[in-house]
Amino acid sequence: MSTVTLEKGTFVEIEPEMLKQAEDILSRKGISYSDAVRVFTEEIILRKDVPEFKEVGKLPLPCIEDLTEEELNSMLQKSFEQIESGHCHTAEEVRMIMEEHYAKF
């Protein structure tokens, strides 16, 4: 376990490999690890709650620029399979879901 000093008096313990992966991803976006934690903290304050994720430990979909061709193809294939099996929403259903979600804020 590594200890990362983000700000004077703020320490975070995180596995070294996880930290490296996160820093690599953030640096491609031009964001420091410290800034990412600050943004997350600001979101908690703004929402007066923890930002929601569909599944614990799973972030929202990545930017297409961050995907390899294989990852993109896999995601598209999964989407096609969901559509073919009827696991999808109409545009109207998506609009209603989004309105309900954003009405919380």
Listing DSSP states for 42-104 in one string gives HHHHHHTSPPP-SBTTBPSPPPGGGS-HHHHHHHHHHHHHHHHTT----HHHHHHHHHHHHHT
Are 66 and 44 in the same domain? no
Domain shared by 46 and 4, yes or no: yes
Q: Are residues 51 and 68 in the same domain?
A: no
Provide the domain count of the chain: 2
Residues 99 and 73 in one domain: yes
36 shares its domain with 68: no
Same domain, 46 and 75: no
Looking at the structure, do residues 103 and 78 belong to the same domain, yes or no? yes
Domain that holds residue 78: 61-105
- Segment 27-56 shows an average pLDDT of 81
Q: Look at the pTM and tell me if it is higher than 0.85.
A: no
pLDDT in tens, 15-27: 888 889 989 988 8
